[in-house]
């Protein structure tokens, strides 16, 4: 629709960010112009996340802000897309600010919904009726076509792109909303994924990150052969122009585990990085979370990963304050974190999600103050470990893929030679800050580490 401008803001995980870039490309293709400024936009889209209460509250407060803007500009169209749109459906449409509600499986139709709303000035909703039954076949085909057509433009960070290998999740961890908003687990056809990576390589992409809620469970049957993640990694490595390949997230499971790690060890292009959330170190809590491993089994897998890939960096996720988590359970988590020696950890306070098994069966009985304290304590323990691990990089020469300008001023500007401060990442996912020309964005650079902190390495260009 020529002449109309769209602003889109993403609140969620990599899945959501990828959906945002797909939607952006489709809208541009239909003649919409994109803008970074809400004030200039005819259409404002919010791509939402339901994983914790806090994520939803941020969206609600943003909608409040948009409602205010709408008082002076009543013709502005506001669309809510993503996981919250699927979860709340009509309830969201009742919000004064909202004109369009569109679920994650309906994004191929979003351009049409927006055009209709702009023309006819009426509210519209499109979500999956019975999400656990999955999308119908025509919808599934439309999603796959949409992904193949627009999944080749992703350049949020210069030189890098996400490629979805799986949709949905069937794991039903008892606390988690994802299976109820993203639907059943579906692995995409390997040919479609590889074709997409080839196109990205032709467009100058150097690093692809394969994404799925359980990327390591990727499984696609075609004729007599069943493809797993290791097969995808091997084929992707043959694509000229692609230099680094990552995948997230890994669910701790023995299935395919050694094969994938062996591929990581054998293939230089596969980054030595594993994001494998443990969630808790207490077997009692792991059982209540419906995670299918014990702390000992988890550690065994982690040690095996270090054995097979000697330079591997491992990141984890934990939930503190899950129902029934005693001091002893929390101590077991602390113990696991100390043994695992993660590069970094994402730590979350348990947030009950409507409709999940944990919410239906277990009372949210850990006081907020206790959740907060456990969160702070665990972060402090992890920070010490992160500090020790990053200190090992001091004086080392490393290769980084440059992302662009660093927002926080870290470095002494007297030593910058007039160059701005850049941010890059190592193969092992360490953030490195150094002074250099902005033209390096999207390129690889060799740097020498001059100073370290728990989460950031500082360096100079070599
Ligand atoms: N599929 C990925 C992660 C999905 S959500 C995986 O299984 O590893 C990202 C993280 O959010 C999870 O790893 C978990 O630590 C956290 N999380 C999910 N649901 C949550 C809830 N109800 N409360 C707090 N944290 C939650
Ligand atoms: Fe949620 Fe568990 Fe699936 Fe991850 S594996 S998305 S935590 S249900
Ligand atoms: Fe991602 Fe949040 Fe949805 S974590 S899949 S955007 S619920």
Mapping DSSP onto H, E and C, the string for the chain reads CCCCEEEEEECCCHHHHHHHHHHHHHHHHCCCEECCCHHHCCEEEEEECCCCHHHHHHHHHHHHHHHHHHHHCCCCEEEEEEHHHHHHCHHHHCCCCCCEEECHHHHHHHHHHHHHHHHHCCCEEECCCCHHHCCCHHHHHHHHHHHHHHCCCCCCCCCEEEEECEECCCCCCCCCCHHHHHCCCEECCHHHHHHHHHHHHHCCCCEEEEECCCHHHCEEEECCEEEEHHHHHHHHHCCCCCCEEEEECCCCCCCCHHHHHHHHHHCCCECCEEECCCECCCHHHHHHCCCCCCHHHHHHHHHHHHHHCCCCEEEEEEEECCCCCCHHHHHHHHHHHHHHCCCEEEEEECCCCCCCHHHHHCCCCCCHHHHHHHHHHHHHHHHHHHHHHHHCCCCCEEEEEEEEECCCCCCCHHHCCCCCEEEEEECCCCEEEEECCHHHCCCEEEEEEEEECCCEEEEEEC
Expressed in angstroms and rounded, the spacing between residue 182 Cα and the centre of ligand 3 is: 8
- Taking the CA of 171 as reference, the closest ligand is 2
Indicate the average pLDDT of the chain. Answer: 95
Condensed to tens digits (0 to 9), the pLDDT of residues 308-317 reads 999 999 999 9
DSSP string, 391-433: HTTTT-EEEEEEEEE-SS--S-GGGSTTPPEEEEEETT--EEE
Does residue 277 surpass a pLDDT of 70? yes
Question: Ligand 2 atom closest to Cα of 176?
Answer: 1
Residues with CB under 6 A from ligand 3: 12-13, 15-16, 49-51, 82-83, 177-178, 181-182
Report the top-level CATH class of 397-461.
mainly beta
**151-270 against 272-391: fold identical:** yes
Q: Is the pLDDT of residue 410 over 70?
A: no
Is ligand 2 within 6 A of the CB of residue 214?
yes
Per-residue pLDDT of 45-58, as tens digits, reads: 999 999 999 999 99
Distance of CA 193 to the CA centre of its chain: 18
pLDDT at residue 2 above 80? Answer: no
What average pLDDT does the segment 109-137 reach?
92
Closest residue by Cα to atom 10, ligand 1, is 317
Ligand 2 atom, smallest distance to 249 CA: 4
pLDDT band for position 117 (cuts 50, 70, 90): very high
Any ligand 2 atom below 6 A from CB of 346: no
Mean of the pLDDT values across residues 214-237? 96
Question: Closest Cα to atom 11, ligand 1: which residue?
Answer: 51
With a 6 Å cutoff on the Cβ, whether 179 touches ligand 2 is yes
Q: Residue 374 pLDDT > 70, yes or no?
A: yes
Q: pLDDT tens digit string along 420-440?
A: 999 999 999 999 999 999 999
Ligand 3 center from residue 232 Cα (angstroms): 24
Ligand 3 mutation pick, 12, 48, 186, max ligand atoms within 8 A of CB: 12
Q: What is the pTM of this model?
A: 0.96
Using the mean position of ligand 3's atoms as its centre, give its distance from the Cα of residue 83 in Å.
Answer: 6
Ligand found nearest the CA of 88: 3
Instruction: Report the CATH architecture of 272-391.
Output: 2-Layer Sandwich (3.30)
Per-domain residue ranges for the chain?
A: 5-131, 151-270, 272-391, 397-461
Q: Is the pLDDT of residue 352 over 80?
A: yes
Which range among 41-55, 118-132, 382-396 shows the weakest confidence by mean pLDDT? Answer: 118-132
Distance 315 CA to ligand 3 centre (A): 19
Q: What tokens does 158 get?
A: 């210069």
- Top CATH class of 151-270 equals alpha beta
Note every long-range contact of 27-31, with CB atoms under 8 Å and residues 24 or more positions apart, other chains counting. Answer: 27/110, 27/111, 27/114, 29/150, 30/1, 30/111, 30/115, 31/1, 31/2, 31/3, 31/4
Choices 3.30.1280.10, 3.30.930.10, 3.40.50.300, 3.40.50.12160: CATH for 5-131: 3.40.50.12160
For residue 317 and ligand 1, the question of a CB distance below 6 A is answered with yes
Does pLDDT of 121 surpass 90?
A: no
Under the banding of pLDDT at 50, 70 and 90, the label for residue 226 is very high
Instruction: Say whether pLDDT at 412 is over 80.
Output: no
């Amino acid at each position: 629709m020529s002449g109309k401008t769209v602003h889109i803001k993403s609140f969620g995980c990599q899945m959501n960010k990828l959906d945002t870039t797909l939607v952006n490309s489709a809208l541009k293709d239909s003649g919409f112009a994109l803008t970074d400024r809400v004030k200039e936009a005819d259409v404002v889209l919010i791509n939402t996340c339901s994983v914790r209460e806090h994520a939803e509250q941020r969206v609600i407060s943003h909608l409040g802000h948009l409602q205010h803007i709408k008082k002076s500009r009543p013709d502005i169209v506001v669309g809510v897309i993503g996981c919250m749109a699927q979860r709340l459906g009509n309830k969201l449409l009742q919000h004064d600010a909202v004109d369009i509600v569109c679920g994650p499986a309906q994004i191929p139709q979003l351009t049409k919904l927006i055009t209709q709303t702009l023309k006819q000035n009426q509210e519209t909703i499109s979500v999956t009726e019975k999400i656990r039954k999955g999308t119908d076949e025509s919808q599934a085909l439309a999603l796959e076509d949409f992904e193949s057509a627009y999944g080749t433009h992703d350049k949020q960070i210069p030189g890098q792109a996400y490629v979805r290998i799986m949709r949905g999740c069937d794991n039903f961890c008892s606390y988690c909303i994802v299976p109820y908003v993203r639907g059943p687990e579906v692995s995409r056809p390997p040919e479609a994924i590889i074709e997409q990576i080839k196109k990205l390589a032709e467009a100058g992409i150097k690093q692809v990150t394969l994404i799925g809620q359980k990327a390591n469970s990727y499984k696609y049957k075609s004729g007599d052969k069943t493809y797993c993640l290791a097969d995808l990694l091997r084929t992707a490595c043959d694509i000229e122009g692609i230099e680094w390949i990552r995948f997230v997230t890994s669910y701790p499971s023995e299935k395919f585990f050694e094969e994938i790690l062996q591929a990581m060890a054998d293939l230089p292009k596969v980054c030595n990085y594993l994001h494998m959330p443990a969630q808790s170190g207490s077997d009692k809590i792991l059982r209540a979370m419906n995670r299918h491993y014990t702390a000992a089994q988890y550690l065994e897998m982690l040690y095996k990963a270090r054995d097979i890939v000697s330079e591997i960096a491992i990141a984890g996720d934990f939930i503190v304050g899950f129902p029934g988590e005693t001091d002893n359970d929390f101590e077991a988590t602390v113990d696991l974190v100390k043994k695992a020696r993660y590069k970094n950890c994402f730590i979350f306070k348990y947030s009950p999600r409507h409709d999940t098994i944990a919410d239906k069966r277990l009372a949210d009985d850990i006081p907020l103050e206790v959740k907060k304290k456990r969160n702070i304590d665990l972060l402090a323990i992890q920070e010490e470990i992160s500090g020790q691990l990053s200190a090992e990089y001091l004086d080392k020469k490393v290769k980084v893929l440059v992302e662009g300008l660093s927002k926080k001023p870290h470095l002494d500007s007297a030593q910058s030679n007039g160059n701005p401060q850049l941010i890059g990442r190592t193969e092992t996912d360490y953030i490195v800050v150094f002074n250099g020309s902005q033209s390096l964005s999207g390129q690889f650079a060799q740097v020498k580490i001059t100073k370290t902190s728990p989460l950031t390495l500082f360096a100079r260009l070599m």
